[in-house]
Structure 1
Amino acid sequence: MLLRPLAVLAALSTSLLLILPLEAREVNHAMGVTEVPDNPQRIVMLTNEGTEALLYLGVVPVGAVQSWDGNPWYDHIATALADTVPLGTELAVNLEILATLEPDLILGTKVRQEAIYPQLSAIAPTVMTETIGGEWQENLQFYADAIGKSEAGKAAVDGFVARTGTIHDALSDAVNERISLVRFSPNRTRIYYKQTFAGLALQQIGLQRPASQDKDDFAQEVTKERIPEMDGDRIFYFSSDLNGDESAANLNDWLNDPLWLNLEGVKAGKAQRVSEIIWNTAGGIYAAHLMLDELEAIYGLASSR
């Protein structure tokens, strides 16, 4: 175990000085090796999924990047983050405000914050995951290890895996349905494959994907000519409301296209809009369980919570 002297305390009745060491350890991460305190008290989190991970582990960050939707947090975590300072977005972290929080550990991700890693490391020990998204369970364990809560992290991940197994069994023959995932946006419409937040959850449950979507990739932007590739026994689609009327008009345009209306899943009444935040943007363990809640409701299953 590595020791790092952090403070010098005055003796109560003498002028002698006592060096008080704080236990620390080396953490291997996407940007190298960093020595971090064993029991960090002031943690800053720079990913949305990581904020959910910390909260699930019973830790409230002193600062965190704001949610992609919400002011500044997603509704499902807003109460827990009442005292947390927002630090901009994953792609634009406010370093000045971050520094004033005097953190003893910063957690982030290389895919978002590689360029500012030197500045972050100058403020406090900083460790990073390689990327975010479908890897949220591995990342949760990484964050748990970094803050000295490895067993709690394992319990959280094991609990989610166990719940997907329970849902698999409850679905019975319906588990063989081929599930299509589509995101509609004014900027780009994409078919989501298996290496996505929702795609990996469906895979863990054991639900199938149409042949055209049975790919270990993230997603692909498509034009209307490729609407037939969106078909499935069930079609789950999501669309952000952030652009207001523009998003609504775009979604209405796609959903009224003759090719969409001719899909077997649509004609069977099994095309359903689901939450963009829960199925896509939030990306953390609370969102993952809320997604399973939504799936259970759609299939008419008893809650496995």
Structure 2
Amino acid sequence: MLKHQAAAGFLVIAAAFALAAPLSAREVTHAMGVTDVPDNPQRIVMLTNEGTEALLYLGVTPVGAVQSWDGDPWYDHIAAPLADTVALGTELAVNLEILATLEPDLILGTKVRQEAIYPQLSAIAPTVMSETIGGTWQDNLKFYADVIGKPAEGEAAIATLAARTSAIHDALGEAVNEELSFVRFSPNRTRIYYKSNFGGLILDQIGFARPPAQDKDEFAEEVTKERIPDMDGDRIFYFSNDLNSDESTANLNDWLNDPLWINLDGVKAGKAQRVSEIIWNSAGGIYAAHLMLDDIEAIYGLESTR
């Protein structure tokens, strides 16, 4: 009985919001169809982590957003500007009841995560979705910027990043020819990361080479210890769970003490570098991209291009 009452209450709230049509709107074509989007939306809800970073970078604070994959509820590097933003569950489990109470005038999400709840979201407010997330994050930033009426700011954000990666490429000199390896250690699965992932795409944008075994336009591949030789490179970047649970720490130590790992050329040269999983992998947005570039400058002893 209580579940039926809660559902009925949600539908009443959603219907009320849907009837409040925007005074001025334009049609936006997106992954789920065509939506009338209000001009100059003021109360935006964002349902992807990369999108939250995009909005903040564009000078817009969402009234609600899905929480970060790590943090309580936000990643440290975006926590301050989100102090008054309401957490709405995760990308994979959005709390629709709380979302409805925020009375948004625009909801931004992604088909790959929220396709199933698109009808419910659209009943609350105009909803626009990107096709997917991850490697498309720069295109998504420009898309979100267009949707909220800030196309010039979106283009400028990506142009600034491109200028910075180009400057780092030039500052690296011959070091840019190093073949960089990219690996994730996890108790659930250890994977070699190829080029089509957040960190891999940034490395590629700078112009770094990859070892032949990793020079693939793919996301990643799960491997066993027999594949440790494929983790070698002139320099090896690896990451693990940033929360450092006992399980993840034990797993990481197990791999790093394996004779095959110890005998990799990159390890013997002292060029195996642990990096932040949040910054180099899971956050996936423009602030994380610039923080990753900060790391690369520090690792290679370059002057900051900030």
For Structure 1 versus Structure 2, the TM-score category normalised by the shorter chain is over 0.9
* AA at the equivalent of 1:48: N
Question: Which structure has more strand as a fraction of its residues?
Answer: 1
After TM superposition, give the deviation of residue 243 of structure 1 in Å.
6.1
User: Which has the larger displacement, 90-99 or 243-252?
Assistant: 243-252
* TM-score, structure 2 as length reference: 0.93
1:22 Cα deviation from its structure 2 partner = 2.2
Tell me what 2:23 maps to: 22
- The 2-side partners of 1:177 and 1:57 are apart by 34
Runs of 4+ more than 6 Å apart: none
Supply the AA of the counterpart residue of 2:157: A
Match of 1:197 in 2: 198
Q: Which residue of 2 aligns with 1:285?
A: 286
Whole-angstrom CA distance in 2 between matches of 1:298 and 1:235: 12
Q: Bigger shift: 29-38 or 60-69?
A: 29-38
For the structure 1 residues 47 and 222, does the alpha-carbon distance in structure 2 shift closer, same or farther, using more than 3 Å as the test? same
Q: Does the 8 Å CA contact 2:68/2:75 hold for their aligned counterparts?
A: yes
Tell me the alpha carbon deviations over residues 228-255 of structure 1, each in whole angstroms, 9 at most, x when there is no partner.
1101000000001346100000000000
Secondary structure of the structure 2 residue equivalent to 1:72: coil
Q: Kindly provide the amino acid, as one letter, of the partner of residue 301 in structure 1.
A: L
What's the CA shift for 1:134? 1.2
The 5 Å alignment of 1:285-304 reads 285-304=286-305
Which of the pair is proportionally richer in helix? 2
Conservation of the 8 A alpha-carbon contact between 1:67 and 1:282: yes
What is the root-mean-square deviation in Å for CA atoms of aligned residues?
1.1
Superposition pairs for residues 254-273 of structure 1, below 5 Å? 254-273=255-274
Superposition pairs for residues 1-305 of structure 1, below 5 Å? 22-242=23-243, 244-305=245-306
Quote how far apart the aligned CAs of 1:23 are.
Answer: 1.9
Q: Is the 8 A contact 1:241 1:248 kept in 2?
A: no
The offset of 1:38, in angstroms, is 1.4
Output one character per residue of 1:54-79: Cα deviation in whole Å (capped at 9) or x when no partner: 00000000000000000000000000
For the 8 Å contact 1:27–1:34, the answer to whether it is kept is: yes
Task: Output the CA distance in 1 between the equivalents of 2:193 and 2:35.
Answer: 35
Distance 2:54 2:242 in 1: 25
1:6 deviates by 5.5
Number of corresponding residues? 288
> What secondary structure sits across from 2:74 in the alignment?
coil
Q: Percent identity?
A: 82
Counterpart CA distance in 2 for 1:179 and 1:23 is 50
- After TM superposition, the score normalised by the length of structure 1 is 0.93
